[in-house]
């Protein structure tokens, strides 16, 4: 179906996105009142809890609202299922009725996975989540979640009610986020915006937002690397991540493309951070779209050059290849370029990772 026809709606649950430096102080109490919830469990990561004052700031806001139900910090990278189960127990032991997902994609996705299992086990709607991201991975805008099972494989779940009920984008809270983590998850947001140009079920207006996201990611990621304390640059990037994966009420789950697929396989098995997997795969995946994408999707990809202020090569295929080069150049400029070999991925594992896809095998060979 063409992106120029269809329908559009928000997710079932999202009530409000609050954004702006320092906004958490007023936004969190407003969302608690809007949702009519009483006690929240903060779900976050160990580093954020032990190495920054971010968790303590959010804790104090909840305590002032008499809504603090504790802190769960045991979500590891790629969301192991054991951590999901431990989170459910902490939620139930606290007598909580909502979650504050605070951090990157692992705690926010982990909270969604825990909510889904509560829904599955008890047959009740998933508890609401207020998401406060401190990276640019954009997990807070999807109805899907992923966790890693006991075999080290990624498991995906989705439900309309898994989308957070509120999102708070506060650039002051993300200043402690390490620069490498911050900018690599910015490439993850770029991955969202580019793959949304050719994945199914994305509307034309949402694709135009992806172009805006790409423009700001190309502009502000290098600036944020050069000036880690630049609050305005960080706020611009938080909003760009929002535009890269604009919240939509999906009639069915729309999976992202080959870059994300390979990233999930690599991340779960070899513990490569999601931002870094996008740094590895995105440019190579864009390069093969001149052969894989539909004529309409190829036009959307080629049009990216206009929004990035780059001249056309004179052909759609040439423009797609140039976009791939621009992505590779940005990754290199941010000093994030690497190979699968550097992350100890054995050459003999590539066939299994490709899972019978010649295109996936071409990408993996190209980044080994």
Give Rg (Cα) of the chain: 20
- The CATH class given to the 16-169 domain equals alpha beta
Strands 144-148 and 154-158: antiparallel
How much is the pTM?
A: 0.91
**Using one digit for the tens of pLDDT, what is the confidence trace for 103-151?**
998 899 899 999 888 888 888 888 999 999 999 999 898 888 877 777 7
Query: Mutual orientation of helices 81-94 and 105-122 as an angle, nearest 10°?
Result: 70
**pLDDT given for residue 44 in this prediction:** 93
DSSP summary character for residue 139: G
Contact 245, 141 (CB under 8 A): yes
**Using one digit for the tens of pLDDT, what is the confidence trace for 85-107?**
999 999 999 999 999 999 998 89
Helix (H, G, I), strand (E, B) or coil at 10: coil
pLDDT band at 167 (very low <50, low <70, confident <90, very high): very high
Contact 41, 69 (CB under 8 A): yes
> At residue 144, what are phi and psi to the nearest 5 degrees?
-105, 160
**pLDDT given for residue 253 in this prediction:** 54
Query: Mutual orientation of helices 179-195 and 274-292 as an angle, nearest 10°?
Result: 20
Structure-model confidence comparison of residues 215 and 261, the more confident one? 215
Helix or strand run (H / E) with residue 49: helix 46-51
**Using one digit for the tens of pLDDT, what is the confidence trace for 183-225?**
999 999 999 999 999 988 888 999 999 999 999 999 999 999 9
Rounded mean pLDDT of 327-334?
98
pLDDT higher than threshold 70 for residue 5? no
Structure-model confidence comparison of residues 75 and 366, the more confident one? 366
pLDDT higher than threshold 80 for residue 55? yes
Which tokens is 118 given?
A: 């509560």
Q: Which residues pair with 68 in a beta bridge?
A: 40
Dihedral sign for Cα atoms in the order 321, 326, 332, 338: negative
- CATH no., domain 179-366: 1.20.1090.10
Each domain of the chain, given as residue ranges in start order, spans: 16-169, 179-366
Contact 147, 261 (CB under 8 A): no
pLDDT higher than threshold 60 for residue 4? no
């Amino acid at each position: 179906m063409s992106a120029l026809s269809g329908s559009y709606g928000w997710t079932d649950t999202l009530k409000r996105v609050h954004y702006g430096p320092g906004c958490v102080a007023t936004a969190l109490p407003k969302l608690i009142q809007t949702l009519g919830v009483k006690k929240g469990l903060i779900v976050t990561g160990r580093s954020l809890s032990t190495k920054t004052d971010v968790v303590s700031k959010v804790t104090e806001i909840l305590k002032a609202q008499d809504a603090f139900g504790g802190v769960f910090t045991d979500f590891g990278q790629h969301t192991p299922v054991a951590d999901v189960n431990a989170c459910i127990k902490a939620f139930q032991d606290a007598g909580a009725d909502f979650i504050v997902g605070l951090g990157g994609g692992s705690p926010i996705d982990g909270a969604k996975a825990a909510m889904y299992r509560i829904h599955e086990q008890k047959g009740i709607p998933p508890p609401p989540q207020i998401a406060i991201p401190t990276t640019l991975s954009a997990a807070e805008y999807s109805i899907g979640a992923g966790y890693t099972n006991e075999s080290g494989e990624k498991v995906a779940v989705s439900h309309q009610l898994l989308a957070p009920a509120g999102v708070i984008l506060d650039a002051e809270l993300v200043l402690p986020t390490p620069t490498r983590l911050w900018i690599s998850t910015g490439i993850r947001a770029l991955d969202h915006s580019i793959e949304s140009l050719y994945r199914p079920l994305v509307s034309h207006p949402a694709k135009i937002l992806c172009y805006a996201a790409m423009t700001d990611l190309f502009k502000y990621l290098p600036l944020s690397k050069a000036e880690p304390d630049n609050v305005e640059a960080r706020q611009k990037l938080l909003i760009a991540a929002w535009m890269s994966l604009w919240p939509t009420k999906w009639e069915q789950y729309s999976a992202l493309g080959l870059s994300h697929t390979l990233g999930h396989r690599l991340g779960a098995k070899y513990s490569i951070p999601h931002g870094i997997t996008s740094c590895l795969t995105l440019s190579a995946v864009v390069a093969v779209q001149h052969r894989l994408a539909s004529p309409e999707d190829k036009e959307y990809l080629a049009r990216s050059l206009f929004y990035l202020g780059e001249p056309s090569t004179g052909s759609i295929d040439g423009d797609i290849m140039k976009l791939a080069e621009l992505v590779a150049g940005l990754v290199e400029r941010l000093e994030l370029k690497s190979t699968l070999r550097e992350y100890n991925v054995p050459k003999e594992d590539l066939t299994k990772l490709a899972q019978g896809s010649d295109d996936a095998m071409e990408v993996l060979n190209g980044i080994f």
